[in-house]
């Protein structure tokens, strides 16, 4: 097979040119980073689980009418996606105080928030993805007012849907981050959900015990990250056979 064209190498994923115009291949790596890549590790099998979990979430979002870039999973580590123009913003929705909001505003972690809170972060690794306000987004033209409206609407629909989906398997959706991009229907731009939705980009706590099943286990050295990710995949019913999750298993050669 001819070597595929590398389009973009990120911290946890690599993007290759897809088989048809307007498509890309999203490859999930085992790299875990935190604190703007100050902390880095390779966690055997993480990429496989994120590929399966994100497939599950995005497929369900597509089926309830929340448009995403996801087309189909190709193999253990890769999925076919629609090519989008990424909007350089991360949209975070929070249901329960944790992480940066707990620190910034002095709220005890685990405190339920009075309503879902939406925040924006400007995607720029050099700056460490700073939080920004609508004023900055408009003034610096990172997104139009219409884009921002669409992104917030998508983020809140994702929040409603995913909160229910995870609660159904005994998991509390504390917060999450999405990224969005434009596709074009003719000349008309439309905003859809892109990137991934996985325990790398969500905080997921066991409803009963409060145990963390997300990347905070790595950020805060709380144990084996794979335990939590495996628990999420198992509860969602998408856990691949354990023997093929770790890299010792069969691998596609590109």
Which residues are at the interface with ligand TMP (CB under 6 A)?
A: 92, 98-101, 129, 175-177, 201-203
Residue nearer to ligand TMP on the CB measure, 32 or 226: 32
Q: Tell me the closest approach of the beta carbon of residue 19 to ligand TMP, in angstroms.
A: 28
DSSP letters, 20-85, are STTEEEEEE-SEEEETTTTEEEE-TTHHHHHHHHHHHHHHHHHHTT--BSEEEE-SSSEEEEE--E
Q: Tell me the closest approach of the beta carbon of residue 133 to ligand TMP, in angstroms.
A: 15
- Report the residue closest to ligand TMP, judged by CB: 99
Residue nearer to ligand TMP on the CB measure, 101 or 236: 101
Return the closest-CA partner of residue 77 out of 247, 199, 248: 247
Residue nearer to ligand TMP on the CB measure, 99 or 189: 99
Residue nearer to ligand TMP on the CB measure, 18 or 55: 55
Q: Tell me the closest approach of the beta carbon of residue 196 to ligand TMP, in angstroms.
A: 9
Q: Tell me the closest approach of the beta carbon of residue 82 to ligand TMP, in angstroms.
A: 21
Alpha carbons 156 and 144: distance in angstroms, whole number: 18
The DSSP letter of residue 118 is E
Where does residue 221 fall: left (phi above 0), alpha (psi -120 to 50 degrees), or beta otherwise?
A: left
């Amino acid at each position: 097979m001819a070597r595929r064209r590398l389009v973009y190498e990120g911290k946890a994923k690599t993007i290759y040119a897809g088989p048809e115009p307007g498509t890309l291949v999203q490859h999930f790596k085992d790299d875990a980073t935190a604190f703007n890549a100050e902390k880095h590790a390779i966690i055997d099998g993480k990429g496989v689980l994120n590929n399966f979990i994100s497939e599950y979430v995005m497929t369900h979002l597509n089926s309830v009418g929340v448009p995403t870039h996801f087309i189909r999973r190709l193999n253990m580590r890769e999925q076919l996606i629609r090519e989008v123009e990424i909007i350089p913003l991360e949209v975070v929705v929070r249901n329960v105080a944790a992480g940066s909001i707990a620190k910034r505003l002095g709220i005890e972690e685990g405190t339920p928030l009075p309503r879902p809170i939406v925040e924006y972060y400007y995607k720029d690794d050099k700056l460490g993805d700073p939080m920004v306000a609508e004023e900055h987004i408009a003034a610096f033209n990172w997104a139009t007012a219409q884009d921002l409206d669409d992104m917030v609407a998508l983020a809140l629909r994702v929040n409603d849907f995913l909160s229910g989906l995870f609660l159904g398997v005994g998991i509390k959706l504390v917060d999450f981050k999405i990224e969005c991009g434009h596709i074009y229907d003719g000349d008309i731009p439309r905003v859809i959900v892109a990137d991934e939705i996985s325990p790398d980009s969500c905080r997921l706590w066991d409803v009963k015990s409060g145990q963390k099943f997300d990347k905070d286990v790595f950020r805060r050295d709380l144990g084996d990250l794979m335990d939590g990710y495996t628990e999420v995949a198992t509860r969602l019913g998408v856990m691949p056979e354990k023997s093929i999750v770790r890299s010792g298993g069969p691998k596609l050669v590109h």
